[in-house]
Amino acid sequence: MKASAEAYPKRWHIEEFFNTDQALGWHRAGTMNVHIRFAQMSLALIGQTVCHQFRTRLGTPYSSWDANHLARDLFFALEGDVRVKNDTILVTYYNAPNVEQLRAHYQNLPDKLAAENIRPEIPWLYNYKLDFRFR
């Protein structure tokens, strides 16, 4: 009994994780194939990481929203377009919230990555760079 009481705080954080991000693919299992499940869990973890960074960078009230709330009230409301210019994929958003915060983190992204000695080309996008604009 003592061990379960000591481990309870750790358990609570795991429950919060699944409650907040279960819509990223944790709430169902489409198959029992180990390779497919591993890929699904890997992609869900990547999605969770990206959403967490995005929430952190946008701040309140977005930092407390779960995955469904983010999708419904933020991502589905965005308007924009995608274009290719030279070796860069340009994503332009027209009605993004907290535009100045987003610009600080995402606009001129290839230059910011190169300044941190991170290769800005994305191998699975045929080595294109990805950049964002906010209007």
> Is the model's pTM score more than 0.75?
no
Dist. CA 93–CA 18, nearest whole Å: 30
pLDDT tens for each residue of 11-67: 656 666 666 777 777 666 677 788 888 888 888 888 888 888 888 888 888 888 888
- pLDDT value, residue 14: 65
Question: 55 vs 5, 21, 24, 91, 102, CA distance in Å?
Answer: 31, 12, 15, 19, 11
Kindly tell me the number of DSSP H helices and DSSP E strands found in the chain: 5, 3
User: Cis link prior to 61 (omega < 30° from 0)?
Assistant: yes
pLDDT tens for each residue of 79-131: 999 999 999 999 999 988 888 888 998 999 999 999 999 999 999 889 999 99
